[in-house]
Amino acid sequence: MIRFDNVTKTYDQKSQPALDAVSLDVDRGEFVFLVGASGSGKSTFIRLVLKEDQASKGAVYVAGQNVANIPSWRVPRLRRGIGVVFQDFRLLPNKTVFSNVAFAMQVIGRSRAVIRETVPDVLATVGLEGKNNRMPHELSGGEQQRVAIARAIVNRPGILLADEPTGNLDPTTSMGIMKVLDRINQNGTTVVMATHDDDIVNTMRKRVVELHNGSVVRDDAQGIYVGEAGALAE
Amino acid sequence: MRLAFILSEIGSGIRRNLSMVTSVILVTFISLTFVGAAGLFQLQINQMKGYWYDRVQVTIYLCVDNSSETSCATGPVTEEQRAAIQAKLESEQFAPYVDTVSYESQEEALGHFRDQFANSPIVDSVTADQLPESFRVSLVDAEKYEVIDEAFSSEPGVDAVSDQRDFLEAIFRYMNWASVVALVIAGIMTFCAILLIATTIRLSAFSRRRETGIMRLVGASKAVIQLPFILEGVIAAVIGAVLASVTLWGTSRFLIDGWLVNTFPQTAFISSQQVLLLVPALILLGAILAGLSSLLTLRRYVKV
């Protein structure tokens, strides 16, 4: 579903590359943790998949297509196939929960009838039944992240990218979010989640890809992650 | 659905940015009013040229008591001199140039004078013998005025030969100046309008950066992201253009139709219908102006 073929990304000629000759395959329906300290290249990985940035060397394939060959007017179509969730939720503060999710469908031209039918279903999937008319500021952090996840998956993307989705949440709430992501993965969506929360990684027992200074230093099925402090102790 | 969505985005954009949108409307209104005024001056000049150059007359003024020209050395024009001038005007030699000749006596001149200055206090103090008698000569070709001037200005009994074209051309010069001034003001105001539209779009893009960021992520097309901004500028500019058109039309209606036409009945003025011809041009100009400047701004400030 996502393939990195010897990808190097350099933002600045002088500094060291954000990604350094990374080769990686993520299959359809997989759940992958992308772990590593801040600055290890996790966010760059996500930006390259979305074609927000171009690889300096190597090729990025999404759903079998080399993103470098996608013309700029086709980039929106690429992004419709990918849902994204961030640490800071990025909800529209002046829209209700329902409108926030519906917004993602409106802007790609879905009909009102389809929106009215789909949005409540998706909100139920993320555990927000009955909160349609709440405003974001009335919700807890965990609930806001659920709205963001609902928005990310409402157009049924094949891939869900999550960039530190639990970074602003306490451990209990984080586990709730992980259950939602796991459920989405069970329904067939490929999930790539960047995190440095070792508790979550160790509880989920999924594939773990560890980045360090832009290189893949570990790739374990059902792996664990010991985090920065643990790695230093080893 | 997408149209309804774009319209609602435009609505919320305009509401959020109301003061800037208002200033865009006003600046385009003023700048397009000046553009239109320059256009109207030119229309008026063409109209008057077409009208007057067909009717332009050369007037040969004959000597009166106090004329100072050397050709008037013998005092007021005599019967013989007048007859000689008329004969010369009607001779074979000038037939190719002269269309018609009419004579205006001092009494007729006084009559015209009284009509023209009916409201002026000087009218009562002017007597017929102060006004020159004259021949009014219509030319076959108005450009050939020089021929008549040369042949008659030194003729005994002729005080002066005057061509109305001199007078008209002075008017046209002033009107041309007025239209140049209007165009310069229009240019400056248009430049302001472009900058203001660019700033407005920039502010609008900034205040909606969350929305556009999310639109980008969920795969909205470039058109859906940018159209609300462009249309916001275009709508404001078109409103300005409509205001400018209404103002120009109203002004021409009251100034030309209501006042000038009655005050100067012998002058050909443009009608307020002709102003309507300018309206589509002004609206198009406003729309293009706003569309281009917002498009250029968006390329810098809204990533797609």
| B18: closest CA of chain A, how far (Å) | 18
Cβ pair A90:B1 closer than 8 A: no
Query: CA-based Rg of chain B, rounded to a whole angstrom?
Result: 31
Binned at pLDDT 50, 70 and 90, residue B277 comes out as confident
- Give the max Cα distance, chain B: 100
Cβ pair B2:A76 closer than 8 A: no
The pLDDT, as a whole number, for residue A45 is: 93
Mean pLDDT (whole number) for B180-206: 88
Percent of chain A with pLDDT over 70: 97
Q: CA A43, A47, A49, A53 torsion: positive or negative? A: negative
Indicate whether this complex's ipTM tops 0.90: no
Res. B73: pLDDT tops 80: no
- Amino acid code (one letter) for B136: R
Beta strand spans in chain A (E): 2-9, 19-26, 31-35, 57-62, 65-66, 82-86, 159-163, 190-195, 207-212, 215-220
Instruction: With beta carbons under 8 A apart, name residues in chain A contacting B2.
Output: 106, 109
Quick count: other Cβ atoms within 10 Å of Cβ A140?
11
d(CA B301, CA B209): 9
The pLDDT, as a whole number, for residue B266 is: 67
- Tell me the pTM: 0.73
Percent of chain A with pLDDT over 90: 74
* Nearest Cα residue to A81 out of A207, A189, A185: A189
The pLDDT, as a whole number, for residue A29 is: 94
Chosen for mutation from B10, B207, B214, B218 (greatest number of chain A CBs closer than 10 Å) is B218
The pLDDT, as a whole number, for residue A234 is: 45
Mean pLDDT (whole number) for B76-85: 84
Instruction: With beta carbons under 8 A apart, name residues in chain B contacting A104.
Output: 214, 218
Residues making up chain A, counted from first to last:
234
The bridge status of strand A190-195 relative to strand A31-35 is: parallel
Is residue B229 within 8 Å of residue B13, measured between CB atoms? Answer: yes
Return the residue of A nearest to B216 by Cα: A76
| A231: closest CA of chain B, how far (Å) | 35
pLDDT by residue (tens digit) across A104-130? 999 898 999 999 999 999 999 999 998
What average pLDDT does the structure give for chain A? 91
Instruction: With beta carbons under 8 A apart, name residues in chain B contacting A79.
Output: 216-219
Instruction: With beta carbons under 8 A apart, name residues in chain B contacting A92.
Output: 210-211, 214
The pLDDT, as a whole number, for residue A228 is: 57
Q: CA A35, A37, A41, A44 torsion: positive or negative? A: positive
**In the 8-state DSSP scheme, what is residue B77?**
P
Return the residue of B nearest to A149 by Cα: B218
Instruction: With beta carbons under 8 A apart, name residues in chain A contacting B221.
Output: 73, 76, 108
CA distances from B294 to A122, B204, B236, B240 (A): 37, 11, 12, 16
Task: Tally C-beta pairs within 8 A across A and B.
Answer: 58
Residues of chain A contacting B, Cβ within 8 Å: 50, 72-73, 75-81, 83-84, 90, 92, 103-104, 106-112, 151-152, 155
d(CA B38, CA B45): 11
Cβ pair A155:B217 closer than 8 A: no
Cβ pair B218:A77 closer than 8 A: no
Give the closest of B2, B216, B225 to A109, CB-based. B2
Range among A45-59, B35-49, B138-152 rated most confident: A45-59
The pLDDT, as a whole number, for residue A233 is: 47
Task: Name the residue with higher pLDDT: B114 or B134.
Answer: B134
Cβ pair A90:B210 closer than 8 A: yes
The pLDDT, as a whole number, for residue A227 is: 64
Task: Name the residue with higher pLDDT: B164 or A132.
Answer: A132
Cβ pair A76:B220 closer than 8 A: yes
Task: Name the residue with higher pLDDT: B118 or B103.
Answer: B103
d(CA A217, CA A194): 15
d(CA A160, CA A183): 12
Is residue A159 within 8 Å of residue A2, measured between CB atoms? Answer: yes
Range among A180-194, B77-91, B105-119, B219-233 rated most confident: A180-194
**Residue B164 CB-density burial (10 A; 0-12 exposed, 13-18 middle, 19+ buried):** middle
Instruction: With beta carbons under 8 A apart, name residues in chain A contacting B5.
Output: 106-107, 109
d(CA A199, CA A204): 9
Instruction: With beta carbons under 8 A apart, name residues in chain B contacting A80.
Output: 218-219
* Nearest Cα residue to B176 out of B166, B164, B168: B168
Is residue A39 within 8 Å of residue A21, measured between CB atoms? Answer: no
* Nearest Cα residue to A127 out of A176, A175, A187, A82: A176
The pLDDT, as a whole number, for residue A76 is: 92
Percent of chain B with pLDDT over 70: 96
Give the closest of B210, B211, B217 to A79, CB-based. B217
For residue A13, the SS3 value is coil
The pLDDT, as a whole number, for residue B28 is: 92
